[in-house]
Structure 1
Amino acid sequence: MKSINWSTDYLPGNTDNFVSNEVIATGITLEAVWANLVDTAKWASYYDNATNVVLDDATNSDLHFAEHFRFDTFGFPIDAQVMELVAPTDGQVARLAWHGWQNGDAATQFDVYHAFLLERLSDGRIRLLTQESQVGQPAAELAQQTPNPMLNGHQKWLDGLVVAAKKTMKEGH
């Protein structure tokens, strides 16, 4: 199975917080999942923890490579930039990743790398993987909570993506 492309700064095990979530589903296509993931206008319809999304390029609501955007999540206002964007074409694994940050002092500054990987498996199955690695005091505080809110939040995101993809396919989009 494929894995996330990590930079040294965010290598899991060397950061203050890391979570990994995965779903393997049937009855959906990679294209339907991708359409719901890259279109930020659809996020609120299946995931309630990514709000107030504003893209610098307001010509449409789709994320593009190197695009800068802002959103609120887990109670934090996040600035972000798309670092990896590979659409699911010609059998390629689809990839979306962004670097996110909150500027501040030593107690409030943090940086994250959040990545999604969408992969076709045998027998009509689709693998959805999301992982996030975080650096900074707020990240260390999240990591101490049981259960880790990031783990549960990202699972809701993946589960919501599966439901949204099924709805997209049913509606014929």
Structure 2
Amino acid sequence: MKTINWPTQYLPGTTDNFVSNEVIATDITLQDVWQNLVDTSKWESYYDNAKNIDLDDKSNNLLHFAEHFHFDTFGFPIDAQVMELVAPTDGKTARISWHGWQNGNKDTQFDVYHAFVIEKLDNTRIRLLTQESQIGKPAADLAKQNPNPMLNGHQAWLDGLVQASRK
């Protein structure tokens, strides 16, 4: 429960780009972090790199298992599907991951697997881990940039998630 369940083709170290970000924070709850992460209507309020979020299921703004959705991030229009969703029913750990893609030719095709693990630690601390593994020429181009925009962007996502969860 405390690590990412990687599909074989996205195994870190075998893809064109991989980033890992982690924050350990206090003064937040696992439930608040979870609600801010699965409620896509909140994303733009704490993460300025997620725009035009549109879920196939229009009944609410919550991600659920197998949900198809679309959003723009890092200048890419991404279609996605939730592949894993484990709410923090045990009060200790939550997980969510999605497969995202941009269809195109050999220069524009882009596939990602993005996952979060949220874990309750002792002394009222919460661990937030997000990792993303990417395949395609756009991913290889991002990996060559220094600093890596994905690394910085995902750190901003975690930092914003913590701040939103403290309110």
> Could you tell me how far apart the structure 2 residues matched to 1:161 and 1:62 are?
16
Checking the alignment, whether the CA contact within 8 Å between 2:36 and 2:161 is kept in structure 1 is yes
Partner of 1:38: 38
C-alpha displacement of 1:110: 1.1
Partner of 1:16: 16
One-letter identity of the residue aligned with 2:147: P
> Could you tell me how far apart the structure 2 residues matched to 1:93 and 1:16 are?
29
Partner of 1:81: 81
C-alpha displacement of 1:92: 4.4
TM normalised by structure 1 equals 0.95
One-letter identity of the residue aligned with 1:62: L
Partner of 2:151: 151
> Could you tell me how far apart the structure 1 residues matched to 2:110 and 2:74 are?
13
Partner of 2:134: 134
> Could you tell me how far apart the structure 1 residues matched to 2:123 and 2:19 are?
28
C-alpha displacement of 1:91: 3.0
Identity of aligned residues (%): 76
TM normalised by structure 2 equals 0.98
Partner of 2:163: 163
C-alpha displacement of 1:90: 1.8
Number of positions where the alignment pairs a residue of Structure 1 with one of Structure 2: 167
Q: Point out where structure 2 has 5 or more consecutive residues left out of the alignment.
A: none
One-letter identity of the residue aligned with 2:142: L
Moved over 4 A (4+): none
> Could you tell me how far apart the structure 1 residues matched to 2:67 and 2:92 are?
22
**Secondary structure at 1:37's aligned position in 2?**
helix
C-alpha displacement of 1:89: 1.0
Partner of 1:171: none
C-alpha RMSD of the superposition: 0.9
**Secondary structure at 2:97's aligned position in 1?**
strand
**Secondary structure at 1:165's aligned position in 2?**
helix
One-letter identity of the residue aligned with 2:89: T
Checking the alignment, whether the CA contact within 8 Å between 2:30 and 2:91 is kept in structure 1 is no
One-letter identity of the residue aligned with 2:3: S
> Could you tell me how far apart the structure 2 residues matched to 1:88 and 1:165 are?
15
> Could you tell me how far apart the structure 2 residues matched to 1:32 and 1:70 are?
24
